Amino acid sequence: MQQLSYFLAFAGTSFAGVLVIGWLLSIIKSVKSDSAVATKIAGAIRESAMTFIREEYSIILLVVALVAALLTYFASPLAAAAFVAGSFTSLATGFVGMHAATLANLSTTIQAKNHGERAAFLMALFGGGVMGFAVASTGLFSIALLTYLFLDQPAFAIIITCFGVGASLVAFFARIGGGIFTKSADVGADLVGKLEAGIPEDDPRNPAVIADNVGDCVGDTAGMGADIYESYIGTLISSMILALNFAPFSLKHVTLPLVISAIGLIGSIVGLVSNTLFKLEPATLLRNANYVAMAVLIAGSYAYLTWAHLPMTYFVAIILGCVGGVIIGLITEYYTGSTPIKKLANISRSGAATNIIYGLSIGMESTVLPVILLALLVLGAFSYGGGSFGVSLAAVAMLATVGITMTVDSFGAIADNAGGIAEMSKFDSKVRKTTDKLDALGNTTAAMGKGFAIGSALLAALALFSAYAQEAGIDSLNILDPLILAGMFIGATIPFLVSALTMRSVGDAALLMVMEVRRQFKEIPGLLAGTAEPDYKRCVAISTRAALREMILPAILTVAAPITVRYVLGIYALGGLLVGATLVGVLLALMMANGGGAWDNAKKYIEAGNFGGKGSDAHHAAVIGDTVGDPFKDTSGPALNILIKLMSVIALLLVLL
């Protein structure tokens, strides 16, 4: 009975999120295009994105079917079904979000042309909002439903873990596939277009330009959505599994993570809706929406803990999670938007090599404060917030307002796309300026979002690690034991290996793209003069093939490593492996996200007219740095986020079986 009322409350909250999605989509669709060219270009982007997603999903579904068969055999049909459900909800969330993005980009362009900045901003924001609320509603509803149906069964932990493995595996494929697609297109387009032919970004004469815009949709939106969905699920299930072992059994403890997430979803809705009522500057609106959501989360959690007579120590954990997320965002903002990027722009005057050296150095330095902060946060949440369960609650709280944080995070990609459509449609340069302004704002919020994604991934991985240790019956993992030390060293190499593979994939695919674009410039007469059309489809096909081919090996490695170590070296070494991979994965992910962001923004800073502006030696150097940063921040870095959670959740499943 009590379980039913909980479920109804969670389902109701999720449904409110779905209503918001419908509202946002209806607004986006209400904007009618008055430009046939723009409609055609947006259609080409949408069509190519859908083609890619279809091909990507069919490969992913094959893998899902294979794993489901294995789970049926080694676990149970129910576990396999939960795994399939986790996979499908992730795929569906990514699909809905990308669909909205490919509609919103056109609406944003049209609004920028006809009604100016604010109207355009709202379209991009609402487009991002669909993804944000899809993640939150689907995640909350799915876990609430599984809890309602199976909480009383002994296999409950296995069922939700299998759901999590499904979400994780899909996220890994979507992130790597999308990341390789978007960056091979982007790097290829920039290398020949900007550096060799000297034509501007998004110029319709560039054969890779459609592929580049498709990449924004499949990488920055669908990939990002799957990533955050997986973090959201990962924290929920690990927190609930830790709560399951409380003696005596306490329903209030098990459902607490869901309650916090539900309050966060309500907060996100309140934050978004309330702030769009006022005519605020875009940057102010984004900040306020976030803070309102967080205030609702904090106040609501306090009220619930009081009402439910739960220990107030949990409130400490929740506060730590919220505040930690904000501080990591601010540190990221500093490293990708302040003094460091001015220095990076300055040093670009002595060439590409020093730009690279300096950018790497910014990326490396930027790892220090967030990691120390996270270490202290974990220490604080453990000591004053309720032990391992407290640490997992901090992670849940950090991700609870995912509805609004993802909205803020993903609107930039839509604005970027809108700029591309405006450029290719040869709209007045004012339109492009409007979208560029939004794109620049989006770059900063996206960098903050990445910092937040990495921080929450670390907490999620640690929560899963705690759950793993608990379920494996491990009380102590002694680093002085060489077996555990060996596990740590092996684990630590995996993020390096996956980074190496994914960066190389981007490099290889970019080389193919460069050759193809050069060929088209040479062989299609009148292309550079603008009298002939390039063959966009061949470029899209190159990125598609590269992405689908190259996403397999990293996934196999990431899944095979914990399984192999489990059966060759045992559960203690596997514990060491998880810690080593998490530690190194987080550091590399931060370095790559922030280094990439710094290169990107240093280039933009020079383009704004500093140190010689566009076309200067400094600019040339900065473009090379930006190109190196692309796979850093959008392929390899994000892949590591998922890697650490995927390995942890697989380890958890291995000991549950």
Nearest alpha-carbon partner for 424 in 196, 107, 200: 200
Q: Which of 77, 482, 570, 609 binds its own copies (CB under 8 A)?
A: 482
* DSSP one-letter code for 33: P
- In the complex with its own copies, which residue's Cβ is closer, 150 or 507? 507
Q: Which residue from 323, 485, 524, 541 is in contact with its own copies, where contact means CB under 8 A?
A: 485
Contact (CB, 8 A) for 362 and 347:
no
Taking CB under 8 A as the rule, does residue 497 contact its own copies?
A: yes
Residue whose C-alpha is closest to residue 258's, from 144, 152, 153: 144
Site for its own copies in 436-465 (CB under 8 A): 462
Cis peptide leading into residue 248 (ω within 30°): yes
Nearer to its own copies, 152 or 475 (CB): 475
- Judged by beta carbon, residue 447 or residue 584, the one nearer its own copies is 584
Q: How far, rounded to the nearest angstrom, does the alpha carbon of residue 249 sit from its chain's CA centroid?
A: 35
Q: Give the integer Cα–Cα distance in Å for 322 and 398.
A: 5
d(CA 552, CA 434): 40
644 in Cβ contact with 455 (< 8 Å)? no
Q: According to CB under 8 A, which residues from 325 to 364 bind its own copies? A: 347, 349-354, 356-358, 360-364
For position 560 contacting its own copies by CB under 8 A, the verdict is no
Q: Which of 263, 393, 414, 583 binds its own copies (CB under 8 A)?
A: 583
Q: How far apart are CA 415 and CA 437, in angstroms?
A: 9
Task: Output the CA–CA distances (angstroms, integers) from residue 528 to 44, 351, 416, in the order listed.
Answer: 21, 28, 24
Collapsed DSSP state (helix, strand, coil) of residue 449: helix
Task: Examine residue 483 and tell whether it contacts its own copies (CB under 8 A).
Answer: yes
The torsion defined by the Cα of 324, 327, 332 and 337, in degrees rounded to 10, comes to 160
62 binds its own copies (CB under 8 A): no
Q: Which of 187, 209, 242, 322 binds its own copies (CB under 8 A)?
A: 187
For the segment 195-214, give every residue that binds its own copies (CB under 8 A).
Answer: 195
Tokens of 244: 């399951």
Nearest to 146 by CA among 59, 226, 69, 237: 237
374 is an interface residue for its own copies by CB under 8 A: yes
Q: Which of 266, 446, 484, 653 binds its own copies (CB under 8 A)?
A: 484
Residue pair 607/379 in contact by the 8 Å Cβ criterion: no
Mask: binding to its own copies, 15-54, rule CB under 8 A, as x and -? ----------------------------------------
Min separation Cβ 492 and its own copies, Å: 5
C-alpha span between 405 and 232 (Å, rounded) = 12
Considering only residues 625 to 644 of the shown chain, the ones binding its own copies according to CB under 8 A are 627-628, 631
Question: Contact, 651 vs 603, CB < 8 A?
Answer: no
Query: Does residue 382 belong to the site contacting its own copies (CB under 8 A)?
Result: yes
Query: Minimal distance in Å, beta carbon 466 to its own copies?
Result: 8
Residue 254 is a binding residue for its own copies (CB under 8 A): no
DSSP state of 611: G
Interface pick for its own copies out of 153, 496, 522, 609 (rule CB under 8 A): 496
Only one of the segments 240-248, 253-261, 435-443, 498-506 lies at the binding site for its own copies (rule: CB under 8 A); that segment is: 498-506
Tell me the window of 145-153, 399-407, 422-430, 492-500 that interacts with its own copies (CB under 8 A). 492-500
Q: Report the residue number, 47 or 617, with the smaller CB distance to its own copies.
A: 617
Per CB under 8 A, contacts with its own copies among 122-161 are: none
Q: Does 241 sit near its own copies (CB under 8 A)?
A: no
Report yes or no: 491 and 580 within 8 Å, Cβ to Cβ.
yes
Instruction: Enumerate residues 509-538 that contact its own copies by CB under 8 A.
Output: 510-511, 514-515
